[in-house]
Amino acid sequence: MPLQTQIARWLEHLIVSGSLRAGDRLPAEVTLVERLGVSRVTVRLAMDELVSRGLVSRAHGKGSFVSPAVVRHDILSEQGFFDILLTKAPRPEVRLIAFESAVPPPKVANLFRLAPGTHAVKLDRLYLSAGRPIVLAANWLTPDAASLVPADIESMSTAAVHSVLLRHPIASSTSAIGAELAGATVARCLGVGARSAVLVLTRTRFDAQGQAREHNRFTVDPSSYEFTFTTKGDVSLAAELRAVAA
């Protein structure tokens, strides 16, 4: 393995393990040259690799710093937020904020075909990456989810809850992505400034009979979480976006 790759992997391990955290300044190139007994070119190539992968950023005249960890979510993927976090975030964590029976907003009641005043299940989670809050999830589930207890859902995605515990697998969903300014609750949960720009993904999931089973609102810190999608071959953007709504 080339020396620059070995150095890059060593520094990457320090970042992923938390020994070096977002915003920390990396040792100067001359320090690494002296410490590791390699050329400055080798060190620079290692740093270039980390910069190209988004793990490190350079500030002219100040040095190199650990970049905030960014989780990339392919919106064409079948994985949801829960699974994306567990597979792609460094030191992932999911905190249960609320799990209770409550009367949903009129829009959600209409989606679930509920009579006025009927209770549904409110499920709120905070997703963290390397100790940093990145996504606030506000979920509504159909009334049958009231049979569950927190232990049932603390380590499962809502898709798995529907399929494994409630026995009505999700067959389709509709989604929309927008942007807004963070309110007081979102700012406090995500640790961002009040009225900071955040991304919002709203999603409704349906079973095979077309019954809405959950409605979600994911508020995302765009400095730590971003949405992507990749096309293959000569596929139009319109076709790809239609797939997102499927």
State the pLDDT at residue 246.
44
Q: Is the pLDDT of residue 165 over 50?
A: yes
At residue 239 the predicted structure's pLDDT band, cuts being 50, 70 and 90, is low
Q: Is the pLDDT of residue 235 over 90?
A: no
Q: Is the pLDDT of residue 70 over 60?
A: yes
Show Cβ contacts of residue 193 under 8 Å, excluding neighbours closer than 6 positions. 182, 187
CB count in 10 Å sphere of residue 236? 9
The CA distance from 24 to 113, in Å, is 51
pLDDT digits (tens, 9 = 90+) for 73-112: 888 777 888 998 888 887 789 999 999 999 999 999 999 9
Helix (H, G, I), strand (E, B) or coil at 200: strand
State the pLDDT at residue 237.
55
pLDDT digits (tens, 9 = 90+) for 36-51: 999 999 999 999 998 8
Mean pLDDT for the chain overall: 88
pLDDT digits (tens, 9 = 90+) for 129-159: 877 899 999 999 999 999 999 988 888 999 9
106 backbone dihedrals φ, ψ, rounded to 5°: -55, -40
Q: Is the pLDDT of residue 2 over 80?
A: yes
- Residue 175 burial (C-beta neighbours within 10 Å; 0-12, 13-18, 19+): middle
The CA distance from 31 to 155, in Å, is 43
Please report the DSSP string for 135-194 in residue order: EEEEEEE-GGGGG--HHHHTTS-HHHIIIIISS--EEEEEEEEEEEE--HHHHHHHT--T
**Rounded to a whole number, what is the largest CA-CA distance in the chain?**
73
> Model's pTM, two decimal places?
0.72
Asked if 144 and 136 count as a contact pair (C-beta separation under 8 A), the reply is no
At residue 245 the predicted structure's pLDDT band, cuts being 50, 70 and 90, is very low
Q: Is the pLDDT of residue 14 over 80?
A: yes
